[in-house]
Amino acid sequence: MTAFFFVRDYKHKYRFFSSEPAKLAQVKFSKPKEIWELAKKKLMLLPQRILSQEQAFGRAFKLKEKAIPIYHSGLMDRKKINHKFYFFLQRQRSKHIFLIIGETLLLPISGLAAFLPGPNVFFYALALLMIIHWQALRGINHILRKKQEFLTSSIFADWEKAVESKKEASFSEILNQIEKEHHLENVRKLLWK
C-alpha cells in the first residue's frame, strides 16, 4: 500500500510525497517511440521534490480507501495540521489550474516547432508535463473530497526539530532513519539538498 507524507523540508516548506519513488511517466501514443523516450528523459530532469509531489498527487487519485492515511511529524495538533494541509491543497489546486491553462496556451505554439528539422521534443515534453499536472490536479481534488487520517511519526518530529534548530550535522542520520523506518528512497532529495 502506498503511504503518503506531509513533512517540512530543510527550507521549512511543506512537501507532500509518497512511499513510491518518482519514475518515468507511462504514456502510450502512436508517435515514434524514441521521441517519447527522449521527452520522458527531459521530464525526469525536473527537481526530485517537484516530480515526486506531482506523482504522489497522481497516485492519490487511485486510492479507494475511505480515509487517506498521511504521516506527519505530530508537532502540530490535529486541528492545525488539518487546516495547514487543507490550505496547502487549495494552493496546489490553484497552481495546477494555472499551470494547465498556461501549458494549454503554449501547446499550439510548440506544435509550430514541427517545421524545424529534427524531432519536436519540446511539444512532447510539454504534452507529458500537461498529463502529469492534469493527473496531479485529479489527485488533489480526490484528496479534498476524501477524509484524511493524519498519523504521527516521531522520526519526522525529530527531523523537523533538527531543521528548526538548524542542526545540519544530525540531518544525515535522521534521514537514514526515515529511509529505514518508512522504506523511502531518495528522501534526501525530497527533504534536503
Query: Which secondary structure element, helix H or strand E, spans residue 138, and what is its range?
Result: helix 121-145
* Banded model confidence at residue 49, pLDDT cuts 50, 70, 90: confident
Which of 19-28, 57-66, 74-83, 122-131 is least confident?
19-28
Helix, strand, or coil (residue 116): coil
Higher pLDDT, 91 or 185: 91
CB burial of residue 69 (10 Å; 0-12, 13-18, 19+): middle
Percentage of the chain exceeding pLDDT 90: 60
For 171-189, the pLDDT digits (tens) are: 999 999 999 999 998 898 8
- The rounded distance, in Å, linking the Cα atoms of 54 and 100 is 13
Coil vs helix vs strand at 174: helix
Mean pLDDT of the chain: 88
Residue 32: is its pLDDT beyond 80?
A: no
Q: Give the residue-averaged pLDDT of 62-83.
A: 94
Q: Which residues contact 155 (CB under 8 A, 6 or more apart)?
A: 174, 177, 178, 181, 182
Model confidence band, residue 30 (pLDDT cutoffs 50, 70, 90)? low
Residue 63, Cβ neighbours under 10 Å: how many?
Answer: 17
Could you report how far apart the first and last alpha carbons of the chain are, in Å? 28
96-116 residue pLDDT tens: 999 999 999 998 888 787 777
